[in-house]
Structure formats: structure tokens, C-alpha cells
Structure 1
């Protein structure tokens, strides 16, 4: 309540340090409270027909009540309000000392208390100024008393005790109120400081988090740029390989046809007496060319997969054979790792449901999901092999089946597994268990978004630390 009243007398645009803010509130509060006591003395003096007290304290009441408004209107600074307040009250008290007994006046204690009030409100300088003023006032009263100057005591004897008690109690209450105001404002300032520190700490934490996110985003952009460049390079290489590969496939097929024709011509010309050795050689050539054709087509499918992977996603869904797509990326991921680490070998097991219907998906997006999951599986087995050595045999198994109206694809490895405490974090962006520089922490996060948000599917994981990890992808037949 007191703070709300004080806020009314504060300029809207008041600025200052915590100490200045606290001191200004102390001065305003004390001035307002003192105006109430001044009004009280006006009423008491009126009841005792003590007219000098009525006039002097009425003037003081008006001054100390109006001074906070001067601060609100910015006509006076809070320090000037403090000096004016103490000077007005000090003058009223000094006048009442002269009117009620001079050196023996019951209000004399107020004159002595003003250095304390000055120190409370204005600090050391105010305390020194009003200490000098109080000593000067006491010297004046002592000088008048020593010269036996006759001063009229306006207080009727019957009311002198009441007036003395009122003066004493009033002085104690005013000092108590000033002390309480000082304590209250100080506690309020401490709360404000604590709130500001807490807000600063929160803002610092937010800024640090923003900085971390910016750094991670920067890393992500660099990685994306690298991947884009790699995609362009892959597309260029694939296109270059495609041309000679087409020649190999075409000429091997044509060569097989030519050998078949040659065998028929030889049989006709030799009237069925063809040399067995010659027929055997031609058969071997046919078999070799068929193998060249088979592996050429295999290489052709890999090149097409590379081109498909490097191409930006169009976002268009189309029915695909998930078994063929999974098998293609399974081999691609394995041979990609083998290209980096010649010593790595793993047992590859496929268990595809041949009766699966085609699934409507975005091939490029699901291809990225599969490639990421396969790469993670091979990475886990590679890490475990480096830990356990010769006695460990890496194994990765991929299977598909139809379950509850959805195609379910499972990728299981016997690698390092995932610790229980971080299983719930694996889909979080930027979270990775790989060493710095080996992972961005975006693979599983993007895969999860592609499956769940892009295809209305599900992703799940079953794992046991240092034993196995099985990633499960469920996709609806039609979206």
C-alpha cells in the first residue's frame, strides 16, 4: 500500500541507481508521514488554544505535503525535497522551542533529533549540516536563557504535561516511522535487486542457449553445404559413369546374341559335326558375357540410386517396392563404409516379405531415412569391433513384413547399443553420441520427422547397451 502511494509521487521517467531509487522513496515516504503528524499537532494545539503552534505546524504541514508534488512535477530533485523538508520541520520546531520555554522547552528533544533525521534521509552530508544547525539552535536558546531574556510560554500550565507527553510520543513515533520506512524500502530494493539478478541470470541463460543454437545452426549449414556439394559431385560422377556403363551393358548383350548366331551358323555349316571344344568355348564366352550384363545392370542400379539420392526431393509420393529400395540402400551403405575401411566386414542378412504391396512414399526422403539408419547400424558394429577385436563378428539384419495394416521395416545390429539414460534423447535435434566432427545430431531427428510428419508413420527403437539396437519403421500402405 505504502509503495503504491509513493509511486504516485514519482516521475514516470525517473531513472537512477538502486541506491538513488531507495533514497528517493525514503524521502518521499517520510515527508508524507510527517505531514500527518504535523496535522495532528495542529489539532492538539488548537484544542489547547496554542495559536503559535497552530500556525507554525499548519505551515509545516502544507510545505511537507506539497514537496513530494514538486518532485513528481520535476520542479525539485529528490535531494532538494529532502533538504527542504528537514529545513521546514527544523524551523517549525525551533520556533516552537522559543514559544514553549526556550532552553527548557519540552520540544527541545526534536531539535536534537534532526541530525539523526538528516543522516537517515540525506546521508553523511545531511547529517553534518543539521548537526551544525542543531548546535547553532541550542546555542541561541542557551544565549537567550543566559541573558535572562523573558519569553512568553503560550502553553497553559494545565496542558503542559499533556503537551510534553504528546511531544515525546510524537518524536518517538516519527523516528520509528522513519526507521520502518528505511527498512521497508531497503527490503524492497533488495527484492528488486534479487529479481533483476534472477532476470539477468535467465536472460544470460537464454543468450547462451541462443548462442549454442546459432553455433549448432552454423555447423548444420556448413554440413548442409558440404552435403549439397557432395550431392552435386555424386551426380556428376554418376552421370560420367552412366555413359560407359551403358556401352558395357549394351555391347555385352549384343555379344551374347552374336555368339548365339555364331553357334547356329557353325552347326549348319558343319552339318552337326561341330567341334565340342569350340562349342564349350562359346558357351563360356556366353556365360561370361551374361555375368558382365548382370553385374553391369547391378552397377547401373547403384548409379541410379546415387543419382536419386543426390537429387532434391520433389515431395511427390509414388508407389515403390520397399523391399527393393531397402536392399539397394542396404548394399549402398555397406559398400560406402567398406570404401572407407577396407578391413571392415559384416554379415548382411535380409528377410523381406515378398508379398508386400507397394508403398506410397517420397522415394528420396525414405531413401535418406534408410541410408541414415543403415549407416548408424554399420557405425555401431564398426565401433564395437574396434573395442572387442577379433572375437566379434559384425552383423546387420533388415526385414520387412505387413503388420496391423502397416508395412513394418526392422533394422537390427549387434553393435554397441544405446544406453538407457539417453534413449529418449535420440530424436532430439543436435543430440549425438558420436565424437565431434563425426555427426551433426540431425540424422535421426530428420528421419523421425520424415517418417512421422511426412508419411504419417511411426518410429521406434529397441536396444540394450553393448548388445544390440533394432530400429523399427512403420509406414501406412497409402497416405
Structure 2
């Protein structure tokens, strides 16, 4: 219970909207805990978090939203594939890696996969394959906006219909604009801004 309350506080803290240096693995763990009710009946979650991941300069609240959207979508895809069969479970795997100056997050599921005919529309606002009342078509559009526009990153998808999907999110570990501004200050250095 204490872990859930702590995770909810971290997830919803007002300061979490501003960019700051964070332990991104902790963001992943908090988000997985907060959205447990979405996945616990259909899937097991496996975390493969890089213990050597450096602190990441990002908006933890917005990145928690990205993770939440991807995990919820993964759980729904698995639930759709299982079709109400209660003795089977899918798997959601979340990994973090440092790739040079980039953080790479992968969210994989063993769900339905994404049909080729709609792959180029999945990030469009209001596009959804869910029944009326179940999805708004905003989750992946918001995710794309946060990753690409606000964090200057990328989001890609690998999918096989009937087998599952992996979303690959990459964001810079350090904010290049902040580092540039800091190095322009007398005696400034990137470390003085993001440490």
C-alpha cells in the first residue's frame, strides 16, 4: 500500500511537469505501479531496466503519461487477443537503455499487433480502433507530441499482427538547448544546470 501511495504522489506531483533531472527507471516503476489495475488481469509485466542509466533531463510528469499510454494500450491489445480467456496471460516488457546521448525505452506486448493498413495513422489525433466509449484516439497522439515536440525525441513501432507490438521511444538524456545556454554563461557548464 505504501508503494502505491508513494508512486501516486510521484506520478501526480505538480513539479513533475517542469523539465528536471530524474531517475528514469524510478519513473517506469512508479508508472507500472500506478496503472497496475489496467494490466494485472491480462498480463505479467517484466522490467528490464538498465541499472547504469544516467540521470535523464525530462519532464517526469509528461514521460509518465507516455509510459502510461503505452502500457494501457499494450494491456488492451493483450486483452483483445485473449478475448476473455481467463486462464491465459500475455506479457508486457519494458526496458530502458542508454544509447550514446539518448535514452531508449521499449514497451513490448504480446497482443494483437497493428494491421499494416492502419500503421501510418496510429499517431493521428482521434484515430482509434477501439469501440465507441472505450478509446478517444488521443493516447498515441499525445504520446507522439510529448516525445517528438516537447522532448525532441523519436517514437517508432515494430509490430507483427497476431504476435505483438514494440514501441521504441528515444529522447536525449541531456537537454542540448539548456546545455548550450549554460555553457554561454560566464563560468557556466552543462553540469551546473542539470546536476
Shorter-normalised TM range: 0.7 to 0.9
Higher RCO, 1 or 2 (CA under 8 Å, sep at least 6)? 2
Distance apart, 1:405 and its partner CA: 2.0
SS in 1 for 2:83: helix
CA deviation digits over 1:389-440, x for unaligned, max 9? 3674311111111113211010100001100010110000000111101111
2:30 pairs with 1:328: yes
Q: 1:332 and 1:308 mapped to 2: Cα distance?
A: 10
Residue aligning to 1:39: none
2:107 aligns with one of 408, 411, 422:
411
Tell me whether 1:433 sits opposite 2:129 in the alignment: yes
Distance 1:417 1:328 in 2: 26
- Per the TM alignment, residue 309 of structure 1 is displaced from its structure 2 partner at its CA by 3.8
Aligned counterparts of 1:364 and 1:414: Cα–Cα separation in 2: 27
1:271-309 deviation per Cα after TM superposition (whole angstroms, max 9, x unaligned): xxxxxxxxxxxxxxxxxxxxxxxxxxxx33422332444
- Structure with greater Cα Rg: 1
CA contact (8 A) 2:10 2:30 kept: no
1:115-145: per-residue Cα shift (whole Å, max 9, x none)?
A: xxxxxxxxxxxxxxxxxxxxxxxxxxxxxxx
**Tell me, what secondary structure is at the counterpart of 1:319?**
strand
Residue 478 of structure 1, aligned match among 169, 174, 184: 174
The answer for the alignment partner of 2:187 in structure 1 is none
Distance 2:15 2:133 in 1: 26
How far 1:332 sits from its partner (Å)?
Answer: 2.3
Residues in 2 aligned to 1:465 and 1:404: alpha-carbon distance in whole angstroms: 32
| Aligned residues of 1:313 and 1:365 also touching (Cα < 8 A) | no
Give the corresponding residue for 2:181: none
**Given the alignment of the two structures, is residue 393 of structure 1 paired with residue 95 of structure 2, yes or no?**
no
State TM-score, norm by structure 2: 0.82
| TM-score of the two chains, using structure 1 as the length reference | 0.35
What CA distance in whole angstroms lies between the structure 1 residues aligned with 2:139 and 2:42? 24
Question: Within 2, Cα distance between the matches of 1:420 and 1:457?
Answer: 24
Rounded to whole Å, the distance in 2 between the matches of 1:375 and 1:390 is: 18
1:93 aligned residue: none
Q: Mapping of 1:205-216 within 5 angstroms? A: none
Whose helix fraction is larger, Structure 1's or Structure 2's? Answer: 1
Please give the residue correspondences for 1:282-431 in structure 2 after superposition, counting only pairs within 5 Å. Answer: 299-310=1-12, 315-338=17-40, 344-386=41-83, 389=85, 392-431=88-127
Offset of 1:366 from its aligned partner?
A: 0.7
In structure 2, C-alpha distance between the alignment counterparts of 1:472 and 1:391, rounded to whole Å? 30
SS at match of 2:67: helix
Unaligned 5+ segments in structure 2 are 176-195
Q: CA RMSD in A?
A: 1.9
User: 2:139 — aligned with what?
Assistant: 443
Unaligned stretches of 5+ in structure 1? Answer: 1-298, 339-343
1:367-391 Cα distance to aligned partner (Å, 9 max, x none) = 111111111111111111116x367
Deviation at 1:316, TM superposition (A): 1.6
Q: Structure 1 residues 459, 319: CA separation in 2 closer, same or farther (over 3 Å shift)?
A: same
In structure 2, how many angstroms separate the alpha carbons of the residues matched to 1:348 and 1:473?
18
Change beyond 3 A, Cα 1:373–1:313: farther
* Count of residues in correspondence between the two structures: 175
- If each structure's strand is expressed as a fraction of its own residues, which one has the higher value? 2
